[in-house]
A and B are shown apart, each in its own frame.
Chain A
Amino acid sequence: MAAEGVRKEPKSADNPILWVARPMATAARQFGKSLIRPSTIVYPFERLEDPQFREEVAVAAGKPIGVGAVWDNYRGVHALNIATCISCNLCAFSCPDLCIDMVTVPGGDPKHPKKCPEIDYGKCSYCGFCSDACPEGCLTMTTRYELSTAKRSEMVYSPAKLYEVFQRKLPMNPVRIELPENEDAILLDPPLCIGCNACSRDCPTQCITMIDIPKVAPKPGEKPAKRIWKEPVINDSDCVRCGTCISVCPKECLFWGSRT
């Protein structure tokens, strides 16, 4: 009578011959299988990302080893397309490890320096939030996994180095083509706005235009308002929701909200 919750042993446990025979049969089966090809790969000489190797393995063993959906979703070193980067900062915002710094790269005008992510792989946890957040799909994660260096400083990949990775055209994890439906929009609190143009100036996608508004005459007894008679209008379809405008607004008159 077995106690409650105790797993019943199989009947073969009573037969001492099977104690020996069973494991030996299992081992022999495994031996036969791995004679054709063991599961391990001879790493520096065989690489899972090598398409030719994938084909060979698939032919040799009947089915690919470790190749498939999981591998295609691999998150390794980032690839950065500097040309399409809009310096929106979203990657650095989304990074949970704070391993992304936005550094200036040549290509911007003196007033609006172009800033691209510089990633410290000593801190990076390869979560992929940055590439998910990237509105332009210019920061993606590739299948490259070889990072070992002799110096810690070499773990920091400058935008130029990330661009080199991009130029190698390694397989990347799927680039999101359409932005997810985003109900949030940037709203304006009109009475606070002073029409300073900071939001429009710093918007990476130039979706903010300043339009003229009618001058409001001061009420009797009040000083005339010190402001420029302009107001930002945000084009939601172009907006990448980076929040740069909110952070640069000196009067905190921009805020997240819903248009409906």
Chain B
Amino acid sequence: MSVTLLSVATAISQAILGAIGSVLPQPASGAVTNVNTVDGLAALIFAAILLLASMLNTIVLIWWERKLLGRFMDRRGAMHVGYAGLLQNFADGIKLFRKDTVKPREADTLGFWSGPTAYMVTSLIIFAILPVSTGWNSGSLPLSLLLALAVFSFAPLFIFVSAWSSNNKYSLIGGMRSAAQMIAYEVPILLAVVAVVLVSGSFDLQTIVLEQTNYWFWVPLFLALVVFVAGMLAEMERIPFDLPEAEAELVEGWNTEYGGMMFAFFMLTDYLRALLGSFLIVLLFLGGWTMPGWVPAAATSFPLAGIFWFMLKVYIVFTVFVWIRASLPRVRTDQLLRVGWNRMVPLALLSVVLAALLVTVKCLPVLGCIPTLGG
């Protein structure tokens, strides 16, 4: 509650503008050190820090996946650029950046160029909403969970726009599949979230995390966790639900026609969304930045301890995603939709019922009671 990211950004902005204002003559200096100017620059700095942090994390996440997948496949993954290949993704990024981006002649210009950008931007917005630790985000939003999920579900629209405007049959099939899949799995995800919201009594992610001080929600709401993870795998289009990209059948799915930096946008955003999915799972089910009581106080009280534990959990969740990717084959479209509507929705409904039971019981024998911060 003391130091938030926004207050840090404001302090930096004040320092910069104060230094400029002290040099300038009076009327101009007054305008520069104005509260509105300071706040505007603070917002920009805040956004820049968020962008930098999320992008760096995404790139490290890609490295982590490459290394893990390597070991799962009995090889090493990236090795030579930087320590253990840490800088390999930067090298790849530079390579993609230098490449030409070609638009097919028959493609729709506006949709073709704006699709990837909008896809990336809508995914990046969510980072400003999700709290990584107390005070990391822009503040306590009363409906932050709802907002995050709403922005998260924009993606199929932009994927479909870019697939449609590519004017390529593989892109179109990929886009169709992507839209069908994301809409099919949106429902069970939201129902699983409803279970969490019922127990915590709040749409505010900070409150939801603080509700989990006695026990993390995955213990009583295990069913909801399973549904949420499966749904998130489909939303992130990762194996076994990577039908929209199915390399073997659809070339590269909805990003077949994209090359160079536009492809990099799609690639980065896929991992951004993987990161976001891991964020949401940690926030909703794994206690966010809080640690159970038996963890020694020294381990949870050092500076930035909240962010440390949060990111540790995020990377563990992502490791499980990679593990699933290394193990399971891709499902068929009909299997995917059948599992989505016939299995996931009833399971999610069941988890909502269980959550309602938990709310009426209030206390569990071993785990203890849920605090009632949200009322």
Interface residues of A (CB under 8 A from B): 20, 23-24, 26-28, 30-31, 33-35, 38-40, 42
Q: Which chain A residues border B324 with CB–CB below 8 Å?
A: 24
A-facing mask of B140-165, CB < 8 A → 1, else 0? 00000000000000000000000000
Q: Which chain A residues border B327 with CB–CB below 8 Å?
A: 20, 23-24, 26-27
B161 to chain A, nearest CB (A): 34
Q: Which chain B residues border A38 with CB–CB below 8 Å?
A: 70-71, 74-76
Given contacts A20-B327, A33-B74, A34-B71, 17 further A-B contacts (CB under 8 A): A20-B328, A23-B327, A23-B328, A24-B323, A24-B324, A26-B327, A27-B72, A30-B72, A30-B73, A30-B74, A31-B68, A31-B323, A34-B74, A38-B71, A39-B75, A40-B74, A42-B79
B66 to chain A, nearest CB (A): 13
Q: Is the interface of A mostly helix, strand, loop or mixed?
A: helix
For residue B190, CB closer than 8 A to chain A, the reply is no
Q: Is the CB of A42 within 8 A of B76?
A: yes
A to B contact number (C-beta, < 8 Å) = 41
Q: Is the CB of B79 within 8 A of A31?
A: no
Q: Which of B66-117 contact A (CB under 8 A)?
A: 68, 70-76, 79
Q: Which chain B residues border A28 with CB–CB below 8 Å?
A: 323
A158 to B68, CA, bound (A): 47
* Residue contacts A-B, CB under 8 angstroms, 9 given: A23-B328, A24-B324, A30-B72, A31-B326, A34-B74, A38-B74, A38-B75, A38-B76, A40-B74
Output the nearest chain A residue to B339 by Cβ-Cβ distance. A16
A30 to B329, CA, bound (A): 16
A156 to B328, CA, bound (A): 49
A-facing mask of B308-329, CB < 8 A → 1, else 0? 0000000000000001101111
* A-B interface, 3 closest residue pairs, ranked by CB to CB distance from nearest: A27-B327, A23-B327, A24-B327
B276 to chain A, nearest CB (A): 24
Output the nearest chain B residue to A32 by Cβ-Cβ distance. B71
A213 to chain B, nearest CB (A): 74
Output the nearest chain B residue to A26 by Cβ-Cβ distance. B327
Q: Which chain B residues border A20 with CB–CB below 8 Å?
A: 327-328
Q: Which chain A residues border B323 with CB–CB below 8 Å?
A: 24, 27-28, 31
B318 to chain A, nearest CB (A): 15
B347 to chain A, nearest CB (A): 13
B227 to chain A, nearest CB (A): 14
B319 to chain A, nearest CB (A): 10
Output the nearest chain A residue to B75 by Cβ-Cβ distance. A40
Max chain B C-beta neighbours (<10 A), residue from A26, A28, A31, A33: A31
Which of A23, A26, A35, A42 contacts B71, CB < 8 Å? A35
A39 to B75, CA, bound (A): 6
A85 to B105, CA, bound (A): 67
A133 to chain B, nearest CB (A): 40
A28 to B79, CA, bound (A): 22
A38 to B71, CA, bound (A): 7
A39 to B76, CA, bound (A): 9
A28 to B320, CA, bound (A): 11
Output the nearest chain A residue to B329 by Cβ-Cβ distance. A23
A39 to B73, CA, bound (A): 9
B268 to chain A, nearest CB (A): 26
A128 to B74, CA, bound (A): 33
Output the nearest chain B residue to A24 by Cβ-Cβ distance. B327
Output the nearest chain A residue to B76 by Cβ-Cβ distance. A38
Contacts A24-B323, A42-B79 given; does A31 touch B72 at CB 8 Å: yes
Q: Which chain A residues border B70 with CB–CB below 8 Å?
A: 38
Q: Which chain B residues border A24 with CB–CB below 8 Å?
A: 323-324, 327-328
A39 to B72, CA, bound (A): 11
Q: Which chain B residues border A35 with CB–CB below 8 Å?
A: 71
A40 to B327, CA, bound (A): 20
Q: Which chain B residues border A34 with CB–CB below 8 Å?
A: 71-72, 74-75
Q: Is the CB of B71 within 8 A of A40?
A: no
Output the nearest chain A residue to B230 by Cβ-Cβ distance. A20
Output the nearest chain B residue to A28 by Cβ-Cβ distance. B323
Q: Which chain A residues border B76 with CB–CB below 8 Å?
A: 38, 40, 42
Q: Which chain B residues border A40 with CB–CB below 8 Å?
A: 74-76
